Structures are given as structure tokens and as C-alpha cells.
Amino acid sequence: MLVACDIYRPAAIDQLEILGEQLGVEVYSERENKNPVSIAQNAIKHAKSIGCNVVIVDTAGRLAVDEKMMTEIEDVKKAINPQEILFVVDSMTGQDAVNTAKEFNDRLDFTGVVLTKLDGDTRGGAALSIRSVVDKPIKFVGTGEKMEALDPFYPKRMADRILGMGDVVSLVERAQEQYDEEAARKLQKKLAKNQFDFDDFLGQLQQIKKMGNVKDLVGMIPGMGKAMKNVDIEDDAFVGIESIILSMTKQERKNPHILNGSRRKRIAIGSGSTVQDVNRLIKQFEDTRKMMKMMGDKGKMMQMMKNMPNMGR
């Protein structure tokens, strides 16, 4: 069990409470108490009283080092003797992040670093600089604003991504986290009977969305990182597709073959798109269904692999 508490910034307490509610984590706060040491100690007492064995103490963030704040944090450290002290830094701040990390480490001797906004290869330098200056491990990296975008830091994987070699291991791990064995079994049966429909297609899109930022996922594919470097992929890249599918009736999603011209026009109006957009999606769906059926048919897959050497002739 876990308790989180914020010892500064009343405005941040509201955000922390919202986040705690989403994650099922209790947030301890004393809005009128101005003594950070007292708040931290009381949070630990509260955690023990309700049987929690982990307490996260959230402190104030600063780009520049503030002497009063540093003294307060040192006092908090002496009072609660934490097992871990993690320095969280925005990797976009560049050299300022390195300087601040050094000052904090000199005063607190923290145990590790968390780098946020590390969603681009060009920011890999911040990880290298901070590691070199403070000689402390980078334990986690944030690649987005959602909780699932916080990952353990693996140096080799980061180096591979900077060099444009991708990060297949992380991509597979994210896929495994969203893998539902029972759902996959049902989908396999539908594919075998050629019953893959738009509801299944929508479900696959939603699984991909749960894996994280689309551009970040593409960057994990070897050779794609540099190719997509200047391509802007919005976080809501699938919204248009979802709108079209959700504008269909249940019958249309189950039986795509009934999508005639008038139905497609109605769907386009309902989803705020064009008939061409609807036609394009239906074509993509049919191509996906054929490909997935072929992948489920071992005989056809073997034949396709045999024909591959002749494709370029």
C-alpha cells in the first residue's frame, strides 16, 4: 500500500489528489500547516496507522536553487531518513538541469534521477550529462503526460534510439502489458471464421493507444526514428478513425458489407468527416482483415514467405 503527500504548494495538492484518486492512492495533506518537516512526519505516522508501507513525499520544484528551500529539504531528509531520494528533472531545460542536479546532489546526496519529457532522441544528451556530473543512476524516464508513459531507464535502449536503431524490446514489453490472452483467443476464432468486424478493429486501436504516444511507439521500430523525426503525429491521431466507427450502427460495425453509398454518407456527416475518409477507412479495414486472416492461416503464410524472394523480380 502507498500514501503520497505534498509538503509545499497548496495548488499542487489539488492536482496530486486528482491523480491519487485516478490511481487509487491516498494523498495526505495539511493545507494550513506551513512546516514541511511536520507534514512529512505526520504523513508517515498516518501511513503506519492505516497499514501502508510506502510513502512518497513530494517537494517543491525549482529551476534555480533557492537557499531557504534547500535548507528545508535538508531538514526533511534528516527528520524522516528516506530510503530513496529521487531528483526529478525536465530534460528540456538542458544545461540548467545539469547545474541544478549537481547542486541538489551536493546538498542531499540523492539516490537516483527521473528524467521527464524525454520523448525525443535529441534530448538524450541530458541523460548523459547528468549521469556524468552527479554519478548517480537514471532510474526512470517520462515520455508523456500519462502514468503509463513512465518507464524504467535502460541505457542501451536509449543509445539504440539515439542512433536510430529503435527499441524493439521496449515496444514488445508495452505490447505484453496490454495483452489479454482471453481476448486474443476470441479474436483468433473470429479471424478463422472471417468474422473480424469494426468492433474488433476499434478494440485493436484502443489497445495501441494504451501503449503510449504513437510517435514514441513508431520511434521504437528500427530505422523509423530518424524517418519520423520531422513528422508531427498528434496524440489524438486515432480520433478521426474512432469517430467514423462510432458513427456506425451496431449492425454496420458487425456487417461491414452492408455499408452502401447512403450509409457511408450518413456516417461521414455524423463523424464530421468526408465520404472519402469513410471509404479510405473501409479500405484499410478490409486490407487489415485480409492480412490478419492470412497471418492466422499457416499455409498461406508459408506460401507468402516462399514467394518473397521473387517479389523484387
Across residues 71-87, what is the average pLDDT? 91
CATH value at residue 198: 1.10.260.30
pLDDT at residue 305, as a whole number: 40
155 lies in a domain? no
The share of the chain scoring above pLDDT 70, in percent, equals 63
pLDDT digits (tens, 9 = 90+) for 104-133: 898 889 999 888 877 654 455 666 777 788
133 lies in a domain? no
296 lies in a domain? yes
Flag the least confident range among 163-167, 237-241, 302-306: 302-306
Rg from Cα positions in the chain: 25
pLDDT at residue 273, as a whole number: 92
pLDDT at 141 over 80: yes
Which domain, by its residues, includes 2? 1-64
* Cα 154 from Cα 173, distance rounded (Å): 13
252 lies in a domain? yes
Tell me the pairing of strands 150-152 and 138-142. antiparallel
Strands in 60-132 per DSSP E: 86-90, 112-116
Out of 64, 92, 113, pick the residue that ends a domain: 64
pLDDT digits (tens, 9 = 90+) for 212-257: 666 566 555 444 455 445 555 555 667 888 899 999 999 999 999 9
Highest-confidence segment of 134-148, 180-194, 237-251, 252-266: 252-266
Q: How many domains does the chain have?
A: 2
Out of 28, 48, 64, pick the residue that ends a domain: 64
pLDDT at residue 21, as a whole number: 83
pLDDT at residue 171, as a whole number: 53
Same domain for 181 and 302, yes or no, is: yes
What's the mean pLDDT when you consider all of the chain?
Answer: 74
152 lies in a domain? no
Q: At which residue does the C-alpha cell 535502449 appear?
A: 157
CATH value at residue 49: 3.40.120
* Cα 174 from Cα 169, distance rounded (Å): 9
Flag the least confident range among 75-79, 170-174, 272-276, 286-290: 170-174
105 lies in a domain? no
pLDDT at 50 over 70: yes
Out of 29, 47, 64, pick the residue that ends a domain: 64
50 lies in a domain? yes
169 lies in a domain? no
